[in-house]
Structure 1
Amino acid sequence: MTESLKIDYQVCEELGRGQFGIIYRCFSVFSGRSFACKSIDKRLLCDSTDRECIEKEPKILHILGGNANVVQIHRLYEDDDSLHMVIDLCDGPDLYDRISNHVGVFSEPEAASIFIPLMQSVSHCHRLGIAHRDIKPENVLFDSTGKLMLADFGSAEWFGMNESGTMTGVVGTPYYVAPEVLLGREYNEKVDVWSAGVILYILLAGSPPFHGETPVETFQAVLRGNLRFPLRIFSSVSPEAKDLLRKMLCKDASRRLSAEQVLRHPWVTSVRQT
């Protein structure tokens, strides 16, 4: 651990780990407040692309600071071998665990209570010219009060940094990745809207809209984009919810809703009022 980090924070137990690093619980020795510390071993980075992603994430989190539904970065420490980001502690079950442990499907109000703050965080990112590019339940976290926070911006990109506002690169996760990403074309921030639409579908149906036995079969299903609403599952789902799903999971990105348009959709506005 970087010496200056150990002066400011007491690092405690491990909370999880990823490809390049480990997340620990920590607390400030000055305030006693609890945080998470994302510690990345730079010696494990395979190439310049990995290093660029690691260096980009704290910069993006600084830009996105101030939104209640985006994980905040509080301090950054770096030495020759490692990088440590002190971020908000989200010690509640993530959305993947919530879905896995939920009995049956989510009601529309239950789904909306998760979906709306998720879309508010996505809209905030897009207004600042940033696309997350890997929205999935594992990256939708909750703190001890149950507040939703979008996390893990390692695949994020500044689409606002170029004139076209487009991006390239195959990133994302099976089930959630948008078809235009898989096609290797230039794409825009609406890839996040597609991914959030997949999450909404899963909340209401209990299964993803596009899937296969293998990642390749799943990608093929995504590329076909044959969106269905099986009657046995969707018979009690409102027409407004299905209309929103159609407009988020639209293969033609030019016709797909933006994040702001999603938040103005009748299903979202009507659920907010109930």
Structure 2
Amino acid sequence: MGQAIGKMQQNCCGSQPQPQKNQETQDLLKNQKNNNVNNDKNKAKNNNVQQGSKQGNQINNSNNIINKKDEQVDDDQSLNQSDSQKDPNDSEQQLEEPKKLDDLQGFLKIKQIGQGAFGKVYTVKKNDPNSKKIYAMKIMRKTDILKYGLLAYVQTEKETLLKNSHKFIVNLNYSFQTNSKVYLVMEYIEGGSLYPYLQNLSRKDREPIARFVMAQLIVAIEVLHKQYHLIYRDLKPENILVTEDGNIKVTDFGLSKKFDPNSNEKFKGTGGTQEYFAPEVVLNQGWDRCVDIWGMGIFLYEMLAGQCPFIPEKRKGLTQNFIDKIVKVQVQYPAFFSKDAIDLISKILQKEPMDRLGAKNFEDLKTHKFFQGIDWKQLEECQLVSPLKKYVQKRLEVQNKSGIHLPARPILETYINDPQLQIQGFTYRGKLE
């Protein structure tokens, strides 16, 4: 395998979820419809904004974040429905009636930095001449939320980001909604997605960087499982952001699933990215938090090889051949993989969920030979120098030398006089710089 790793196969995740409203969405519609009428006249008067110039002014900077597996589907049917539970003691969540577009007018859009199956991400700043702080704003249409039954996932992502304070997980600064869209304002991570870096790593740097990133990822997944009781489910380099110092930040919790740590509940569905599907997922046997352990094994392989061990046939979805490779764990290791790397990956990629290294205790992962020399305490405090840092700084230098400085401009939205859905407790007005 040459020094440069080629682009990975494009993801073919089959069809998108069938248009449907889940019960939670129907209940919210029923309970909240009458709360929205009195605000329409004021909105129409103050916010009749035309969208005509939006297309021409929008700058697409998607080259900075390469999406190889951006078609994500989810047809989850929990055997123990608990996703819509809210914490009644969470004082930071605020119930609100529909607002004018004041929140929207409080931000200026700079450029688009990403796009997923159900939304776009932009860099934004406060609409204040004295403010220079840059944020990332994720925008999703409510028509999509309704059509694909995504309300539970939108709420899960917002609540996860809001409650989080960990160094390796993206933080939420602000969230609000209009009649047509929802907005999540998060910390902006300068280095962008991890994926583009994988194409440019030198052979000698590849394993040290994989070791460092994997160690931080183990800490992040352990926090999600133990503190937040959340199954991440969407592990892949595109969802790992890199800070200016080369540390990681896990993002995109739209497919995450809450679980009861005192229960053996199993969930159904094939949401996520096919290359990362665990055996119990493709066999529709029901899955639990152990899918994240499997995902970490695939992730480590991809970091080292530049591609996943299991690649589906293009545009053919879940073929029997692809399923057989996953179920039989038919992994071929490149000759340049170290013995410790092969040993770790093979112990994680076990067909039986509880046989996977780390399934019983995350310490089993941390004490593996592959991580020898890692000071876990210093790692968690971001006190170690990241071997990825030089690559991030080089990329930022190139971006800064490009001389392209886009003017911040208002975020335009066509006013809709017929509220489709107002999500209770979605708005969070945190402190912005």
Cα gap change, 1:192/1:8 in structure 2, threshold over 3 Å: closer, same or farther?
same
Deviations 1:24-63 (A, max 9, x none): 1012337532110001111233536223222321012223
Pair 1:264-2:366 in alignment: yes
1:211 alignment partner, one of 300, 308, 311: 311
d(CA) in 2 for partners of 1:32, 1:93: 19
The secondary structure found in structure 1 opposite 2:167 is coil
Q: Contact between 2:144 and 2:150, CA under 8 Å: does it hold in 1?
A: no
Where structure 2 has 5 or more consecutive residues not aligned to the other structure, the ranges are: 1-48, 50-99, 376-383, 385-433
Check conservation: 2:123, 2:134, Cα contact below 8 A. Answer: yes
Aligned twin of 1:94: 193
- Letter of the 1:119 partner, please give it: I
Equivalent in 169, 192, 202 of residue 70 of structure 1: 169
* Residue equivalent to 2:223: 124
Alpha carbons of structure 1 residues 48 and 82: separation in structure 2 relative to 1, 3 Å:
same
Please give the root-mean-square deviation of Cα atoms over the aligned residues, in Å. Answer: 2.5
Residues 106, 204 of structure 1: 8 Å contact kept: no
CA shift, 1:150, in A, is 0.8
The Cα shift of 1:16 comes to 1.8
Offset of residue 104 of structure 1? 4.2
Equivalent residue in structure 1 for 2:336, among 233, 236, 239: 233
Query: Which residue type is aligned with residue 327 of structure 2?
Result: L
Tell me the secondary structure at the aligned position of residue 274 of structure 2.
coil
The Cα of 1:261 is off from its aligned counterpart by: 3.2
Q: Greater CA deviation, 251-260 or 203-212?
A: 203-212
| Alpha-carbon distance in structure 2 between the residues aligned to 1:45 and 1:68 | 29
CA contact (8 A) 1:159 1:167 kept: no
For 2:342 and 2:122, the matched residues in 1 are separated by 40
Give the 3 Å change call, closer, same or farther, for CA 9–43 of structure 1 in structure 2.
same
1:34 aligns to 2:138 (yes or no): no
Higher helix share: 1
Which has the higher mean CA deviation after the structures are superposed, 40-49 or 115-124?
Answer: 40-49
2:111 to 13, 28, 32: 13
Provide Cα deviations, 1:65-87, integer angstroms capped at 9, x if missing partner: 11111111111101221110001
Secondary structure of residue in 2 paired with 1:39: strand
Bigger mean CA deviation after superposition, 39-48 or 122-131: 39-48
Give aligned pairs, total.
Answer: 269
Question: How does 1:59-208 map onto structure 2 within 5 Å?
Answer: 59-63=159-163, 65-104=164-203, 106-127=205-226, 128-160=228-260, 163-208=263-308
Letter in 2 for 1:261: E
Change (3 A) 1:52 1:116: same
Q: Aligned in 2, Cα 1:262/1:12: closer, same or farther, shift over 3 Å?
A: farther
More moved, 20-29 vs 80-89: 20-29
* % identical aligned pairs: 25
2:174 and 2:370 mapped to 1: Cα distance? 35
- Tell me how far apart the structure 2 counterparts of residues 162 and 26 of structure 1 sit (CA, whole Å): 41
Are the equivalent residues in 2 in contact too, given 1:23–1:38 (CA < 8 A)? Answer: yes
Answer yes or no: is the 8 Å Cα contact 1:116–1:268 preserved in 2.
Answer: no
Q: Higher Cα Rg: structure 1 or 2?
A: 2
TM-score, structure 1 length as denominator? 0.87
The SS at the match of 2:123 is: strand
Q: Which moved more, 1:211-220 or 1:14-23?
A: 211-220
Q: Distance in 2 between matches of 1:270 and 1:103?
A: 21
User: Given the superposition, is the C-alpha separation of residues 117 and 256 from structure 1 closer, same or farther in structure 2, using an over 3 Å criterion?
Assistant: same
User: How has the CA–CA distance of structure 1 residues 62 and 268 changed in structure 2, closer, same or farther, with 3 Å as cutoff?
Assistant: farther
How far apart are residue 106 of structure 1 and its match?
A: 4.8
Looking at structure 1, the residues matched to 189 and 212 of structure 2 have their Cα atoms a distance apart, in angstroms, of 17
Alignment partners' CA distance in 1, 2:166 and 2:354: 28
SS at match of 1:175: helix
Q: Is contact 2:211-2:371 (8 Å) kept?
A: no
Please give the secondary structure, in 1, of the residue aligned with 2:121. Answer: strand
Instruction: Tell me: higher relative CO, structure 1 or 2? Use CA pairs within 8 A at least 6 residues apart.
Output: 2
- Structure 1 residues 182-191 or 216-225, which shifts more? 216-225
How far is 1:184 from its partner? 1.2
Query: How far apart, CA to CA, are the structure 2 residues paired with 1:212 and 1:20?
Result: 23
1:25 aligns with 2:127: no
Aligned to 1:223: 327
Query: Secondary structure of 1:71's partner?
Result: coil
Pairwise CA distance, 1:227 = 2.8
Structure 1 residue identity aligned to 2:329: G
